[in-house]
Structure 1
Amino acid sequence: MKKMLLGMICLLIVPFSLRAANVIQEISVGAFSELDVRTVGNVYLIQGNKESVRIESSKDVSDYIVVKNSGNKLTVTTKGLHNWHGKMDIYITVRNLTNAYFKAVGNIQTKNTLQGKMLQLTVNAAGNINFDLNCTQLNADFSAIGNVSLSGSAANAEIHNSATGNVRAGDFRADVLDVHLSGVGNVTLYAGKEISIDASGTGNITYKGNPVVKHLSKHGTGVVKPE
């Protein structure tokens, strides 16, 4: 009976301990349209009605996180976490994002579809990238060590990729697409009207949508072909 009671107590204590170990920090921020993120940890972008930052971590990291508003730009940085082995998730809610720069050790992804007119993305990450976007004009530069996944749509898109990993953008429906590929990995693209390809990387390139090929320059290894 005592052993059974002790076991039940342990079962109650363990979940409580796990919940207590997850520290949540809510940070109030002002309005911004530009984002500069240089962090250790996973980053999640959410489009919502009010800008905010929420950090969930396995311990209190408030002394290691710097969040700063400067004009239209929000900067989120971590300091002193070079040997960080815990868990940290950074949730950033935006209303209207036009420019975003990421330099992160961790995955970067959207939690819902980011919508807008013009979006400039620059991502230098050690982790996977997963964006769902709906915009008129996208200019993106990816140099990650990890896979890049894009979905959504754009009237015009220019993508530079030097990542080590596969690029899965077959579900990102651009009307006019201009890509410059120098990474290592296979690439899948979609263009509904027109596509220009400058390829000097390693891996096969497949494009969907039956577009007109306006320009094709290939210097790397692999095959460029329609689906």
Structure 2
Amino acid sequence: MPEVKIKSNVMNHLTFFALIFTTLVACNANSSTKVPDKWDDVDTRSYEISDFRYIHLEGGFKVVLQQSDKPGLSIKADEDDFEYLDVEVHDEVLDIEIKDKHFTLDQIILYIHFKELETLHIEGGVKLETQGYIELKDFYVHVEGGAKIEMDIKADNFKVVGQGGVCFNLEGISKSMNALASGAAYINAENLKCERVEIKIEGVGAGFVYATNYLDASIEGVGKITYKGDPEIHKNIGGLGFIAKN
């Protein structure tokens, strides 16, 4: 019986590391979010849009998000692809979608300028970066699908939800961060310095955080959470994984 138990433990740990490794490799396999600063004006359109506080994106885009003194939107795409893009602002929501489930192999790049932002909701294979730091009060990011998000942020309260094959790389400072990774998600926030952090992993995932005062870390499934700082810690592991100081 002891030998069987040892073998079972070994298999569990091998499974754990294999799943985590697969998650990290899948995340790193995504190409860089960096996009060119200039492009051919022939394939670029600028949109006059009203002010907004919420962004909803659905489709396969590269996105550059920048804080500015006025809202703005420019899109680079193949000339034939513009007819499949649906762009509108309603009820303070900037909504950009690909119509009729048209999928193109050509790259579509969105340059979005905003004054204030409260919510960012992404569905699909988006690769997003911020241009410089964005300074916000309460900010909620909800991402579904195979996306890669790189953000430099200064916020009071920051909430992050990643569902599916989502990779977050976050830097900056926030008073608090509440993060949920479900599916096969990866959250790297070890360079996002927060006073309070709550992070939960469901399914298979990994999280890296920086908490100075308080950390509430939870795993339900297969995952790992590592942290920087010397916070008061509350841990809960309801599956296979570990929570440890980095």
The answer as to 2:139 corresponding to 1:155 is: no
The residue correspondences of 1:175-214 to structure 2 (distance < 5 A) are 175-213=195-233
Residue 108 of structure 1 corresponds to which residue in structure 2?
Answer: 128
Pick the aligned partner of 2:77 from 57, 60, 67: 57
Cα RMSD after superposing both structures: 1.9
Q: Could you tell me which amino acid in structure 1 is paired with residue 106 of structure 2?
A: G
- CA distance in structure 1 between the partners assigned to 2:215 and 2:46 by the alignment: 43
For normalisation by structure 1, the TM-score amounts to 0.84
Deviation at 1:81, TM superposition (A): 5.0
Aligned partner of residue 109 in structure 2, secondary structure: strand
Q: Could you tell me which amino acid in structure 1 is paired with residue 208 of structure 2?
A: T
Moved more, 108-117 or 23-32: 108-117
Deviation at 1:179, TM superposition (A): 1.0
Aligned identity (percent) is: 19
Residue 222 of structure 1 corresponds to which residue in structure 2?
Answer: 241
Deviation at 1:39, TM superposition (A): 2.2
Q: 1:139 to 1:22 in 2, by over 3 A?
A: same
Residue 71 of structure 1 corresponds to which residue in structure 2?
Answer: 91
The residue correspondences of 1:19-34 to structure 2 (distance < 5 A) are 23-34=43-54
Which aligned runs of 4 or more in structure 1 are off by greater than 4 angstroms? 19-22
Determine which structure has more spread, i.e. the larger CA radius of gyration. 1
> Are the counterparts in 2 of residues 21 and 59 from structure 1 also a CA contact under 8 Å?
no
Aligned partner of residue 210 in structure 1, secondary structure: coil
The answer as to 2:184 corresponding to 1:164 is: yes
CA deviation profile, 1:87-130 (whole Å, cap 9, x unmatched): 11111111100112111223122222111111111111312121
Moved more, 129-138 or 140-149: 140-149
> Are the counterparts in 1 of residues 54 and 119 from structure 2 also a CA contact under 8 Å?
yes
- CA distance in structure 2 between the partners assigned to 1:70 and 1:102 by the alignment: 17
Ranked by relative contact order (alpha carbons within 8 Å, sequence separation 6 or more), the top structure is: 2
Moved more, 56-65 or 23-32: 56-65
Residue 88 of structure 1 corresponds to which residue in structure 2?
Answer: 108
Give unmatched runs, 5+ long, in structure 1.
1-18
> Are the counterparts in 1 of residues 140 and 158 from structure 2 also a CA contact under 8 Å?
yes
Residue 173 of structure 1 corresponds to which residue in structure 2?
Answer: 193
Deviation at 1:171, TM superposition (A): 0.4
> Are the counterparts in 1 of residues 217 and 225 from structure 2 also a CA contact under 8 Å?
no
Aligned partner of residue 185 in structure 1, secondary structure: strand
Deviation at 1:20, TM superposition (A): 6.0
Q: Could you tell me which amino acid in structure 1 is paired with residue 87 of structure 2?
A: V
- CA distance in structure 1 between the partners assigned to 2:102 and 2:237 by the alignment: 39
Bigger share in helix: 2
Give unmatched runs, 5+ long, in structure 2.
1-38
